[in-house]
Copies of this chain bind each other. A is one copy, B any other.
């Protein structure tokens, strides 16, 4: 049935209703699609010392990410191998991971240390923590559930590392973090994020502060070519450092989807603040303002928007068929004095815009919930959204055509 729906999916039109609401389709995504996706789950600043750990939800499964010192960052399911209790209730720091229930303890590298009480014949080396795929790139920690089937991150790392370093993300400080739980399917959240056709009616503040609106929020060929001209002039002023290049990789089942590109904020602005004036010291390798905005799509569920003086990480976290969490983290430079940062100024644009997005996406979800909903046509101003939907449908078709899903999330461990 789902295969039929996918087969009849009309290119350039929104998805059929079940994709936005049905528990069955969400379960299928959960079984086949999500376990193969890398997600940014934390920043190295969240785990500064050996033994530091954070608890995160990764596609509904709770994981522990731990700083294992010389062993780098590691991630495990937050489930004791004894009776199954959660091990960590929240973020913390300890030299071992100790389950509070019966005090079983595990090394930071996962091995069971408590072996005295084991019954005869039980092999403690089979009772280590269940690992989760974990990789750090330029300060961002990405995880994935199906350790045996994760797509390659090599191309993404190679393309992004210069950009992440230039923006100083590797050693950045977290200045603010906020969550925007949204009652809508994750695909509606992403469809909205991928287009700015709605920016004019829905985001007055964003509309006033961004030059690209002319080309993305209304069909006006003159305005669009005017904007292209401005971008070309701005780009001509840049050097050809790797971080100034544009790379777009559509990705698929075996390689991670990502994008890195830059364009000017425009309207005479140095950064994406209410006034256009800086809200924090220059970050990383920047020695002056070039008024640029760097856009990095990190897999399907992460995005980093980086300006000269700050950066904003977006984590899109599917919670259920009709619930998605959107978590924003604002970064400033490693050398910045957090006490001197005006948090309201720093967070203004993306806080107001994300609260508006939550509102309009929830209205979209309520409408799509009606039996009267029918797929509608994406306009030319929603080309990236159409591209995302097309990518999603292609991924699902491929994953469905395979014999079976990731039926055992721990199969490589067993």
Contact = CB atoms under 8 A, between A and B. Distances in A.
Contacts of A376: 80-84, 127
A379 interface: yes
30 contacts: A14-B84, A61-B370, A61-B371, A61-B372, A62-B370, A77-B372, A78-B370, A79-B372, A79-B373, A83-B376, A84-B374, A84-B376, A85-B363, A85-B364, A85-B368, A86-B363, A100-B201, A100-B202, A101-B198, A101-B201, A101-B360, A102-B201, A103-B200, A103-B201, A117-B218, A117-B380, A119-B377, A119-B378, A127-B377, A371-B409
A235 to B, nearest CB: 28
A366 interface: yes
A201 B20 CA distance: 45
Contacts of A363: 85-86, 89, 100-101
A85 B20 CA distance: 12
A268 interface: no
A190 to B, nearest CB: 13
The secondary structure that dominates the A interface is loop
A197 B101 CA distance: 9
A83 B201 contact: no
Interface string A116-138: 11110010000100100000000
Given A61-B371, A127-B376, A117 B84 contact: no
A81 B14 CA distance: 10
Contacts of A89: 363
**A-B pairs with the 10 shortest C-beta distances?**
A77-B372, A84-B368, A103-B201, A117-B379, A86-B367, A84-B373, A85-B364, A82-B376, A84-B367, A79-B367
A372 to B, nearest CB: 3
Nearest to A385: B83
Interface in A271-285: none
A364 B84 contact: yes
Interface string A349-383: 00000000000100110111011111011111100
B364 A83 contact: yes
Contacts of A367: 78-80, 84-87
Interface in A58-109: 61-62, 77-87, 89, 100-103
A305 interface: no
Nearest to A360: B101
Contacts of A61: 370-372
A219 interface: yes
A101 B372 contact: no
A141 to B, nearest CB: 19
A205 interface: no
A197 B78 contact: no
A223 interface: no
A14 to B, nearest CB: 6
A46 interface: no
Interface in A186-227: 191, 197-198, 200-202, 218-219
